[in-house]
Amino acid sequence: MTDSDSLPPIPLDTFALFFDVDGTLAPIEKRPELVSIPHNIRQALCAIYSAAGGALALVSGRALTELDALSAPLHSPAAGVHGAERRDAHGEIHRTELSPSLAIKLARELTDAIAGFPGCHVEAKGMAYALHYRQAPQFQRDIMAVAEAFAGRYAELTLQPGKCVVELKPRGVDKGAAINAFMRETPFAGRTPLFIGDDLTDEAGFVQVNALNGISIKVGPGASAARYHLDDVQQAHLWLLSLVEQQDNYSMKTKSSVGEDL
């Protein structure tokens, strides 16, 4: 695996930065509600957001409300539910939603469909549904079969496999499309994109960033479209903290240079 010292320099004033959360900024836990981002990493994100002129967005399978709670005090642009809901730099929310009647029907039917698999549960996100089996990996095939059956039954839905989870989400929604939307808007437009993630759900983001000649970083093992790799969340944290240190060093040199000119 590539370590963080092998990654190219990232001048924050010319980059657009996109961060996955679970498995990237935060270690994966048995249940989503147990996940947290360490305090020093949240502070680092705030510093990077400022240094990048606001060109930083979280891009996650989580809902926007969860992202805000996890990353506080950061309040940045963000794409939740794999891009089904997206908050731009002006605070405007863009959503791709299922019809209310279908959403209610899916919540009920999915809960009934996995009731026979102890340790598995449905996470309703409004515009998407995650079927979790991290606590019962022996049911992976069963849960995948349930998801495939629902995707085949409802044309509006498509599958998004992940780590011990499979999601049913609206067609045409993925992290690559979310990143592409950000890159057409201020303050992201005209910058070099960087996206770091860890899961199958992030591959569309890697592909999009590669197409824009950006930097794609996979956290953890496994084949990926990403051009760079980091071993684990701890190494991702060290790399992120190095971005802050890099910016601090740059600021100090700039101040020193200005002082010499006076």
User: Which CATH number belongs to the domain containing residue 55 in this structure?
Assistant: 3.40.50.1000
- Whether 88 and 180 map to the same domain: the answer is yes
Domain that holds residue 133: 100-170
- Mean pLDDT calculated for residue range 130-153: 94
User: Does one domain contain both 86 and 213?
Assistant: yes
Say what the pLDDT of residue 103 is: 86
Return the pLDDT at 155.
Answer: 87
Give me 104's structure tokens. Answer: 């209610």
Pick from 207, 127, 222, 203: nearest CA to 170:
127
State the DSSP H helix or E strand holding residue 63, giving kind and residue range, or none if neither: none
Confidence of residue 100 (pLDDT cuts 50, 70, 90): confident
Euclidean distance between CA atoms 88 and 30, whole angstroms: 31
Distance, in Å, from the CA atom of 28 to the CA atom of 62, rounded to the nearest integer, reads 13
List, in order, residues 6 or more apart from 141 with CB less than 8 Å away. none
Which of the four pLDDT bands, split at 50, 70 and 90, describes residue 262? Answer: low
List pLDDT tens digits, range 180-192: 999 999 999 999 9
154-165 mean pLDDT: 88
- Check which CATH number belongs to the domain holding 131 and give it: 3.30.70.1020
Tally of domains in the chain: 2
CB atoms within 10 A of CB 155: 8
In this structure, the answer to whether residues 120 and 195 fall within a common structural domain is: no
pLDDT for the residue 258: 42
User: pTM for the complete prediction?
Assistant: 0.86
Exposure of 262 by Cβ count < 10 A (0-12 exposed, 13-18 middle, 19+ buried)? Answer: exposed
Instruction: Supply φ then ψ for residue 45, to 5 degrees.
Output: -60, -40
Which residues fall within 8 angstroms of residue 229, CB to CB, at 6 or more apart?
A: 1, 2, 217, 218, 219
**What integer pLDDT is reported at residue 88 of this predicted model?**
98
CA distance 177 to 71: 22
Residue where a domain stops, chosen among 170, 195, 215: 170
Q: Is residue 261 over pLDDT 60?
A: no
Q: How many CA atoms lie within 13 A of 79 on its CB side?
A: 27
The values of phi and psi at residue 238, to 5°, are -60, -40
% of the chain residues with pLDDT over 70: 92
Select from 170, 193, 210 the last residue of a domain: 170
Is the pLDDT at 236 greater than 90? The verdict is yes
The DSSP secondary-structure symbol of 77 reads -
Judge whether residue 212 has pLDDT over 50.
yes
Strands 78-80 and 215-219: unpaired
* The pLDDT value given to residue 5: 60
Which residues are bridge partners to 161 per DSSP? 166
pLDDT in tens, 47-93: 999 999 999 999 999 999 999 999 999 999 999 999 999 999 999 99
Confidence at residue 147, expressed as pLDDT on a 0 to 100 scale: 94
pLDDT of residue 1: 42
**Which residues are part of the catalytic machinery?**
20
30 and 71, same domain (yes or no): yes
Mean pLDDT over residues 17-22, rounded? Answer: 97
Domain boundary among 127, 142, 170: 170
